Structure 1
Amino acid sequence: MREENRYRIAELILKFLETKASLEEIVELQEWISLSEENRNNFQKLRNIWEMTNPSASQMNINIESALLKTKIRAGIEPRKKIVSTSQKVVFYFQRIAAILFLPTLIALSIIMMNDKDEQLAYYKASTPYGSISEIILPDSSKVWLDVGSTLEYPSRFINNTRRVYMCGEAYFEVHADKKHPFIIQADELEITATGTAFNVSSFAQSLEQKVTLISGKVSVSQGNKIKYLLPGQQLTYQRNTKRMTIASIDTFKYTAWKDGIIAFRDDSLETIFHRLEQIYRVRFIVNDLDIKKYTYRATFKGETLDEIINCMEEGTPVKFRKRDDNHKEGDTLIIEVNKD
């Protein structure tokens, strides 16, 4: 099945389960289900998951045949001709909000069901919204703290000889020790391998740099045919534009404090600070004087609001902030202008 068809089937199933499918969409879904027993079984499994995570749905007696019959009677139509599919694997992406997960930080969830070598395996995709940090326990008991604006994809259980996950953004890992089954993180161009250790990975899509910071244990970082090894207290920086990897000893607190709700700036440029605040809060800074970006600032915040942070920055730097709050609504991006004092 072509990728766009997979997304289309996922969309049809989700609309049907939410009772939002049109007559044409119900007919299209029924045709796909009738193509094979595998399709019917996959639909049933996904419907069961839906009912388990949506208690009210189990009382609705969701039934594709009865829904189709009712719509046919109302419209007086015949189903379209079947199209034979040669697909051996079906992938379903379900974009459901945090209510599916019983997590305090309410992370968004995608469920991916795939038939891989006759074995059903579910994949979960977690993402963290503005103003929160998510803590996730993986099937092997490894722990992951997921920063704001980040995503993590992981299976319902690890099979074969490796434990592989996929991430974008920033995450802190405490990997359960298991030398026989390496823990592998795929972060865009980098592949990070560990057996039992604690480390931080920063890999935002819009950033020119990827960073791996090791707290304890040992990790290897590979890119193409290049591989580097880190020791505790070291950080690897990968430049996407030059494909260059460098290692330096650093203050790890600055790069890992976020998982405890701490924002740590250590003589960082205001440009770097503005970028970090934009990641955490729904805000955008407009700097009217480029010299401002060169100023540095050192501070530690925990629990402060955005207003409290920029007030402190006004006292410690020669800059002034002004909000553009005309017609600003909750959920909109707040625009803040930055000028020299």
Structure 2
Amino acid sequence: MTVLEPGWGISVRAAARLSFTLIDLNGSTGRRNGMASLSLRDPALRATVWQDGETGVSGETEFGEEILALLRALRETCDGPAAHCRIDHALPAHHGFGSKTTTLLAVGKAYAQLCERPVDTAEIARLCGRGGTSGASVNLIDRGGFLVDGGHANPADFADDPHRYLLPSRFAGAATRKPPVLVTLEFPAWPVLVIITEGLELHGKPELDWFRATLPIPYEEACRTAHLVLMNLAPAIAEADYPAFCRALDRLTFETHYKQEQVVIQPPGVKRLLHEARDRSDIDAVGMSVTGPMCFAFTRDPASATAWLAELREEGIVRDFYFTTAQNHGAELSGVPLGLEA
């Protein structure tokens, strides 16, 4: 085992995850979950990991205990040194950006590179107990771009109690096998309008209770979502067909059962934003990442679209908005001299 020279650390930058939708929340055909997802250039996690006398975490993060536990587990796996992780820029938590999984995987990759040890992403996910629901972040961190994963094979007793297995990430635990990548594409250079709303941040036990009350969805609705993802959304991206992509996104947002269940729990302001966006000529398509409260849109009239959002910000419906693009590559890691790494 080799450790990076003293005085150096590893800097990591990992893109946020946007979710178009989870796909199969019925599970009766033998598989469940699966997600259509995208890496966003902004916001991004930035962190630095270096050898230290004691394992530690600094910087603003909601996941300090989980990071500590992962660093300790990786130290044993890699036969490596104690290390310190500093979160230089955190992903917003509980917004729909995949912040927890992305943060832990990025830190794990930085520690492995610090030790100059190849540690598979699936092993890092196993050590930190992630990937049990969506295969998005555990695959996007190595690839970026647009991705559809195939979810998880059901255990033999799935039909006896689907609620045991249709769970949010926090409660699903680690995947026994990383969800397979079915589609991976470079996303076109279409600007993504990120909209941070003042909506409901669903996580923890309330999210678990919502999953239990909402799932499984009807079989026919899972089929509808799978068809829209694989025969409309993905081909439009592959062909860089912007109008077809916008039609597919709006159908996912307004016509699919599971997304409507996610929208219905949001406060009136978020519902108003989505429905106004559908009717406005300056918004070509709109979506909401998982249960929100982050929404996103596509527009060919940015001046008019942002003027509308500025009005909603004045009304207290929107907190912030900005344009970004997809990131069509995985997380970036580099050696940095300590003291110059921030």
Output the TM-score relative to the length of structure 2. 0.26
More helix by share: 2
More strand by share: 1
Which is bigger in relative contact order (C-alpha 8 A, separation at least 6)? 2
Larger Rg: 1
Output the TM-score relative to the length of structure 1. 0.26
